[in-house]
Amino acid sequence: MPNYQLRNLNNFNAFRGPVVFIIMDGIGIGKQDESDGVHLAYTPELDCLFEAPLFTTLKAHGTAVGMPSEDDMGNSEVGHNALGAGRVFPQGAKLVAEAISSGRIFEGAAWKEALTRAKQGGTLHLMGLLSDGNVHSHIDHVLAMLDRAASADVPRVRLHVLLDGRDVDQRSALRYLETLEAKLAALNAAGADFCIASGGGRMITTMDRYGADWSIVERGWKAHVLGDARAFASASEAVQTYYDEDPRITDQYLERFVITEDGSPVGTIEDGDAVIFFNFRGDRAMEMSQAFEDKDFDHFDRQRHPDVFYAGMMQYDGDAHIPKHFLVEPSEIDGTISEYLCASGVSSYAISETQKFGHVTYFWNGNNSGYIDESLETYVEITSDRVPFDQRPTMKAAEITDALIQTIRGGQHKFIRVNYPNGDMVGHTGVPISVRMSVEAVDLSLSRLLPEIEKAGGIAVITADHGNADCMFTMKNGKREPMVAHTLNPVPFMVQDYSGANRWKMRPADTPGLSNVAATLMTLLGLEPPEAYDPSLLELE
C-alpha cells in the first residue's frame, strides 16, 4: 500500500478558513466578440477576478488532458481526471485508437467471445454514439470493428446508433450515416449481412448519466432490444423525416426509431447474441450496461432480459466492475489528490448537482466510485431538474451555493470542491440568451460565495474544466451556425487568498494545464506536492 501522507510545506503559515475550489464547467476564454457567451454575459465578479494578481489561463484540451491530438476538444471527464490526478494520463480516445491501430483490441478475450457468439448462430450488435466528436466515441472505431468482423467471417452484425448533435454540429447525423451506410453497403456486397437496426438522439435515447432520468435508458432498451419504436426503411430516412417534421429539431433530441423489413424489426437483441457498447467514455454508457448485466434490475420494466454476452469498449466503473467484460484496458489512475489529502488527515467536501456530481467524485478520484475515507469526506448531490437546460439556465446553482455557504460557516472541512454545470449543460443547447444567463447564474453564485469565504478567512480557487459557453455560434457561408460542442479555448485560473497568512506569486510555466491544479491546491493547503505531480502554479514569496 503506497504511503500517500504529505509533508508540510516549509515557511507556510496556517490559516483558519477552507480552500474552496470552484469549477465553472464549460466557461472558457473565447474571442470576446458577439459569439462569446461568457464575454456577453453580465459578470461583475468574474470581471474583477480576471484582473486579479493571481490569474493565468490553463490549457484544457488535446494532449494536455490525455487526448490524441491538439485538434481534440477537452471534456468534463478528462478534465476532472487531470484536475484530480495532478498528472496527464492517456484517455479513452487515445487508448482505443492505439489499441485498434496495433490490433491489440481484437486479440483480447472480450472481442473473441463476442465473435464466437456471433458465429454460433447469434448476432453481433454494436451500440454507441455515431460521430467523430471523440468525446464519447469515434466513428472510425466502429468502421474498424466492422472491417474486422467482416474479415473474421461474422455472418450478421446489427448497429444501434445514437445521434450526436452535441459534441459535433447540431444537424450532422446524415453525414455520419452516409459514411456508415456506404461502409455497410460495401461489406454486404462482399457477402456480409450488416445493417443499422435502431437509433435515436443521445439526450433522449440510451445515454442518460448518474441516474438522472432512467426513462432515457428505457427508451433505448425499447428500441434496441425490443424493436419498439417508430419504423423506417433506413436510418437516413428516419433522420430526414424528423428534420422535415420539425425544422427546429436537432440530432441530440431526435426520437428513437427502428429499421424494419416486411413489417418486422431487422435487429432486435435476442438470447445468444453479443452486444458491444462502443462508447469509450463511461458516464453515459453505465446505465445501459447495468440494464444488460444486473439480474435484480429495477429501474424500469425490461419486459424481457435476453441472455447475451455484453462488453463495453472500456470498463466504465473499475470499482463496481461495470461492465464485467471490456475491450480496452483503461489507464490506471493512482495517487489522486483525494488519496493524498485523506492520508494526510485533511477533511474534504464535494458537491454538485446530478449532471456533474460524478465528475467531482468518480472522475476526480481517478474513475473510482465511492469514498476513499468516509470519516474525512462528505459528498453531496443536489438532484437536477428534468427539464431542457435552455429553459432553466440557472439549473441548481442557487441550491448548490446555499449548501456551500452552510458548509463554509460550519467550519468542518478544510478542502471544499464544487462544480457549477451551467456553462456546459446550457452551452450544449446553443440558445444564446440561455447560455448568457447560465454564465450569469454562476457569476451570481460567486457574488454570494466569495464573501463567505472571505469571512471564514479562506482561499478561493476558480477555474473551468473546458470551454463551451465561450462560443455560441460560428459563421458558415455568411450565416450563424449554433456551436454546441466544447471549444479548444483555454480556461481561466484565479486565486483569491482572503486569509492574509501567506504571500503568493505565480510560478513561471511554459504551458500550464489542468494537471497543474492539484499540486497548486496542495500548496495552498500547506502541503508539499509529490514529485510525480505536475508542478504547482503558485509559490510562496
- The contacts of residue 23 (CB under 8 Å, 6+ apart) are 80, 83, 359, 360, 417, 418, 419, 420, 463, 464, 465
Where do the domains of the chain lie, and which CATH numbers do they carry?
19-90+336-540 (3.40.720.10), 93-328 (3.40.1450.10)
DSSP 160-175: EEEE-SSSS-TT-HHH
Cα 111 to chain centroid, rounded:
25
What's the pLDDT score for residue 1?
Answer: 62
User: Kind and range of the H or E element at 143?
Assistant: helix 139-151
Is the peptide bond preceding residue 323 cis, with omega within 30 degrees of 0? Answer: yes
Please give the Cα distance from 252 to 389 (Å, whole number): 13
Cβ proximity of 185 and 195 under 8 Å: no
Cβ proximity of 164 and 252 under 8 Å: yes
Task: Answer yes or no: pTM beyond 0.85.
Answer: no
- Tens-place pLDDT, residues 100-121: 999 999 999 999 999 999 999 9
C-alpha cell at 38: 461568457
Catalytic residue among 76, 137, 172, 438: 76
pLDDT of 46 above 90: yes
Cβ proximity of 442 and 24 under 8 Å: yes
- Tens-place pLDDT, residues 423-443: 999 999 999 999 999 999 999
- Tens-place pLDDT, residues 231-281: 999 999 999 999 999 999 999 999 999 999 999 999 999 999 999 999 999
**Active-site residue 35, yes or no?**
no
What's the pLDDT score for residue 164?
Answer: 98
- By the 10 Å C-beta count (0-12 exposed, 13-18 middle, 19+ buried), 528 is classed as middle
**Residue 497 confidence class, pLDDT cut points 50, 70, 90:** very high
pLDDT of 318 above 80: no
Interior/surface letters 216-250, b for 16+ CB within 10 angstroms, e for the rest: bbbbbbbbbbbbbbeebeebbebbeebbeeeeebb
Q: How far is CA 530 from CA 224, 340, 417, 463, in A?
A: 47, 9, 20, 22
What's the pLDDT score for residue 444?
Answer: 98
